[in-house]
Structure formats: structure tokens, C-alpha cells
């Protein structure tokens, strides 16, 4: 199974469920675990607090891609062709629960794109 493309994940979600719903989900994906993580740290639950904060961080690249795709009018063009592979994206979304996995993948994928010559 190939590694999930984070930008395409956002595009598929938006093409499938709509931009407003997914952008709202990603905002909540940042704010809710961040708030709970901070509260957990305050209550002395260090491991849970750090894990929740890293989950919030994982939603940041998704949110940024969603905003970029929406503003550029690229949701349909980038998302629709990938809907055929939606099952793959659905299964691989579990990486959101792995601390900083989405953040690191997004950074790696962006650096790789920047290092490739433009066609």
C-alpha cells in the first residue's frame, strides 16, 4: 500500500463531503484536541496531553491544504479523480492518530515536490 498523499486526502474529503463540512471538521480537529491536550497537561496527564496536542498538530496541514484548494478552486479537479481510491484514503486516515505523522508526511511531500523540476 502506498503512503497517503496528504493534499489529496484533503481534496478527496472536500470533493466527497463538501468544502464547508471538511474545513469545519479540520478546524475542530485542531481546536478540540488542542484544548483537551492543554487541559490534560494542566491536570497532570502528561502523556495524554502531549498525544492530544500532536493530534491537533496533525490537522493543521489538512486545514491548510483545504483552504489552499478551496481558494484556488482546485477541489473538484484534485479530489474527484481520487474518489475512486477513497477506500485507501479512508483506511489510511488512521495516521491522524499517530503523533505528528501527518505533519511529517506533509512536510516531506512538500519538500519532495519542491525538489522536482517543474514540467
Question: What confidence tens digit (pLDDT) does each residue in 6-59 have?
Answer: 999 999 999 999 999 999 999 999 999 999 999 999 999 999 999 999 999 999
- Asked if residue 29 belongs to a domain, the reply is yes
Total domains present in the chain: 1
Quickly state the pLDDT bin for 2 (edges 50, 70, 90): low
Of the two residues 1 and 86, the one the predictor is more confident about is 86
pTM of the predicted model as reported, rounded to 2 decimal places:
0.89
Domain that holds residue 61: 6-115
- Asked if residue 53 belongs to a domain, the reply is yes
- Asked if residue 1 belongs to a domain, the reply is no
- Asked if residue 48 belongs to a domain, the reply is yes
**pLDDT score, position 119:** 52
- Asked if residue 45 belongs to a domain, the reply is yes
- Asked if residue 37 belongs to a domain, the reply is yes
- Asked if residue 42 belongs to a domain, the reply is yes
- Asked if residue 46 belongs to a domain, the reply is yes
For residue range 61-105, list pLDDT tens digits in order. Answer: 999 999 999 999 999 999 999 888 877 777 788 899 999 999 999
**DSSP letters of the chain?**
-PPP-HHHHHHHHHHHH-HHHHHHHHHHHHHHHHHHHHHHHHTT-HHHHHHHHHHHHHHHHHHHHHHHHHHHT-HHHHHGGGGGGHHHHHHHGGGGGSTTHHHHHHHHHHHHHHHSPP-
Amino acid at each position: 500500500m502506498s503512503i497517503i498523499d496528504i493534499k489529496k486526502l484533503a481534496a478527496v474529503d472536500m470533493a466527497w463531503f463538501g468544502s464547508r463540512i471538511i474545513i469545519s471538521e479540520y478546524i475542530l480537529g485542531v481546536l478540540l484536541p488542542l484544548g483537551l491536550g492543554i487541559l490534560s497537561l494542566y491536570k497532570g496527564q502528561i502523556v495524554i496531553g502531549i498525544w492530544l496536542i500532536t493530534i491537533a498538530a496533525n490537522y493543521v496541514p489538512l486545514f491548510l491544504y483545504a483552504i489552499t484548494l478551496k481558494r484556488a478552486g482546485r477541489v473538484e479537479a484534485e479530489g474527484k479523480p481520487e474518489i475512486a481510491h477513497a477506500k485507501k484514503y479512508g483506511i489510511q486516515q488512521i495516521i491522524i492518530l499517530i503523533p505528528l505523522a501527518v505533519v511529517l508526511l506533509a512536510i516531506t511531500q512538500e519538500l519532495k515536490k519542491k525538489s522536482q523540476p517543474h514540467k
